[in-house]
Amino acid sequence: MDLSAGQKLSSAVCDAQVVVVKAPAEPVEIECGGAAMVPDGDPSAGSGTPDTSLGEAVLLGKRYADDDLGLELLCTKAGEGALSVDGRVLPVKGAKPLPSSD
């Protein structure tokens, strides 16, 4: 799927929703709970059962990123499924360290 910044995606198997913050140059397959995510408003959203063995559930307000691909997603609605890209689990983006105040 070709992604663009600002695009909204919904899980086909749970309530999770994300917004694309940074889109990769090449097409990728974004999945949640083992099923491909669909554009927001698609009637098939939330109609299945997620595979919870793939990883931790998506958390509201967290950013998920793959720096190698140049992909970053922001979770706008939590769900039971884990986010993955091209079959690899997408990790939560770590916080930036604050500068020291020596």
Q: Which residue numbers in the chain have pLDDT < 70?
A: 46, 102
Sole residue written with tokens 């706008």: 76
Q: Report if residue 96 sits inside a domain.
A: no
Dihedral class, residue 87 (left if φ above 0, else alpha if ψ from -120 to 50, else beta):
left
Domain limits for position 63: 8-89
Q: Report if residue 74 sits inside a domain.
A: yes
**Which residues, other chains included, contact 73 with Cβ-Cβ below 8 Å and sequence gap of 6+?**
9, 18, 19, 20, 21, 30, 63, 64, 65, 83, 90
Q: Report if residue 26 sits inside a domain.
A: yes
Structure token digits, residue 40: 């927001």
Residue closest to 73 by CA, chosen among 42, 12, 28, 35? 28
**β-strand partners of 98:** none
Q: Structurally, how many domains does the chain consist of?
A: 1
**Entry pTM:** 0.87
pLDDT of residue 99: 86
pLDDT of residue 97: 83
Q: Report if residue 81 sits inside a domain.
A: yes
Q: Report if residue 24 sits inside a domain.
A: yes
pLDDT of residue 102: 62
Q: Report if residue 100 sits inside a domain.
A: no
pLDDT of residue 46: 65
